[in-house]
């Protein structure tokens, strides 16, 4: 008998036919609870959607919202050896072949035919401005051709070893992309100059390898980055952008010696490398060509 009572108690907890309560609550009480939670969750979902929407509105698809305040672009060299060292032996082909291979790979997207197909023949010596007008996006933006033949003796076309086989190697320099940058030197295009790097040899004593550097040739002439390659509008807006290049050919470098070289960009609207970023706008590397003669 007691067993049956217990069972009935349980049953009544779930469904009490007298009071018409389910789990201790009437249908309308349950209904109110469900309604409350339904409204609550709808409210949360709406809040989430609204926040997302507002956030997405503040993002411009064609311009990164956050860009480190890089006003001074870094420079890079190709081929890039270990620790910015280019060291090889003239008579041992395998020691410089990898540099030639690296340059071939790097230059491949600059093939004249590739550039002619991808990019636009811009008017040289002036910025190629393609602003958006209001909300109307000027998109996609065109990019200017940079054909490797511009680099003449360092293009790898006439001299397929870039001078490495004769001890007159070419080094290619490019500036890191900085969105919106309009580099110039007294309204003239910015240009690259290379020289012997000063280095410390003792307390307040400095030396450089200028006597070993020899003559340099710059391609294109004067080592300029033409203005038409600026400004850069970003990867998404300018899908086919090709960074302009400058090549330096070492025509008479002293063999069997370390030669410390420093190249810098000359553009007076690019601030000198600050304490925070000493190497902005310049790059140094070591060049050593060994030869049996």
Which residues are at the interface with ligand NAG (CB under 6 A)? Answer: 108, 111, 114, 117-118, 140, 142, 152-153, 214-215, 217, 221-222, 224, 239-240, 252, 254
- Please, what sign has the CA dihedral across residues 184, 185, 188, 194? negative
CB nearer to ligand NAG: give 124 or 271: 124
Distance in Å, CB of 138 to ligand NAG, minimum? 11
CB nearer to ligand NAG: give 181 or 213: 213
* DSSP state letter for 62: T
Distance in Å, CB of 202 to ligand NAG, minimum? 25
Under DSSP, is residue 114 helix (H, G, I), strand (E, B) or coil? Answer: helix
Report strand pairing: 85-89 vs 282-290. Answer: parallel
Under DSSP, is residue 185 helix (H, G, I), strand (E, B) or coil? Answer: strand
CB nearer to ligand NAG: give 89 or 240: 240
Structure tokens at 170: 């070419």
CA dihedral 120, 246, 217, 184 (to 10 degrees): 90
Distance in Å, CB of 142 to ligand NAG, minimum? 5
Name the residue among 194, 205, 215, 216 with its Cα closest to residue 260. Answer: 194
Name the residue among 252, 176, 269, 159 with its Cα closest to residue 212. Answer: 252
Distance in Å, CB of 126 to ligand NAG, minimum? 14
CB nearer to ligand NAG: give 33 or 239: 239
CB nearer to ligand NAG: give 111 or 243: 111
CB nearer to ligand NAG: give 280 or 289: 289
Distance in Å, CB of 109 to ligand NAG, minimum? 6
Distance in Å, CB of 58 to ligand NAG, minimum? 26
d(CA 12, CA 23): 8
CB nearer to ligand NAG: give 8 or 222: 222
d(CA 6, CA 189): 95
Structure tokens at 34: 């469900």
Distance in Å, CB of 222 to ligand NAG, minimum? 4
Distance in Å, CB of 225 to ligand NAG, minimum? 12
CB nearer to ligand NAG: give 67 or 252: 252
List of long-range contacts for 139-144, beta carbons under 8 Å, 24+ apart: 139/62, 139/237, 140/237, 140/238, 140/239, 141/233, 141/237, 141/238, 142/238, 142/240, 143/118, 143/119, 143/238, 143/239, 143/240, 143/241, 143/242, 144/119, 144/120, 144/226, 144/228, 144/229, 144/242
């Amino acid at each position: 008998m007691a067993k049956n009572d217990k069972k009935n108690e349980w049953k009544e907890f779930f469904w009490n036919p007298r009071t018409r309560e389910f789990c201790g609550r009437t249908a309308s009480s349950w209904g109110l609870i469900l309604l409350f939670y339904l409204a609550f969750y709808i409210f949360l979902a709406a809040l989430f959607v609204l926040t997302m929407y507002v956030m997405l509105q503040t993002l411009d698809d064609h311009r990164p919202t956050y860009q480190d305040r890089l006003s001074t672009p870094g420079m890079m060299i190709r081929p890039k050896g270990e620790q910015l060292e280019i060291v090889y032996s003239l008579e041992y082909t395998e020691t410089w072949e990898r540099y030639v291979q690296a340059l071939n790979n790097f230059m491949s997207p600059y093939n004249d035919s590739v550039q002619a197909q991808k990019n636009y023949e811009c008017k040289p010596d002036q910025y190629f401005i393609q602003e958006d007008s209001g909300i109307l996006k000027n998109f996609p933006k065109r990019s200017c051709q940079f054909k490797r033949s511009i680099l003449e003796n360092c293009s790898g076309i006439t001299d397929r070893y870039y001078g490495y086989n004769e001890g007159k190697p070419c080094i290619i320099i490019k500036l890191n992309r900085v969105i919106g940058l309009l580099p110039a030197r007294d309204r003239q295009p910015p240009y690259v100059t290379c020289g012997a790097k000063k280095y410390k040899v003792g307390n307040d004593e400095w030396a450089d390898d200028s006597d070993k550097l020899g003559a340099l040739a710059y391609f294109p002439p004067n080592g300029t980055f033409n203005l038409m390659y600026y400004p850069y509008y970003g990867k998404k807006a300018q899908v086919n952008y090709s960074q302009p290049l400058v090549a330096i050919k070492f025509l008479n470098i002293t063999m069997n010696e370390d030669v410390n070289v420093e190249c810098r960009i000359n553009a007076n609207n690019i601030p000198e490398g600050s304490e925070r970023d000493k190497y902005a706008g310049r790059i140094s590397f070591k060049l050593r060509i060994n030869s049996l003669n």
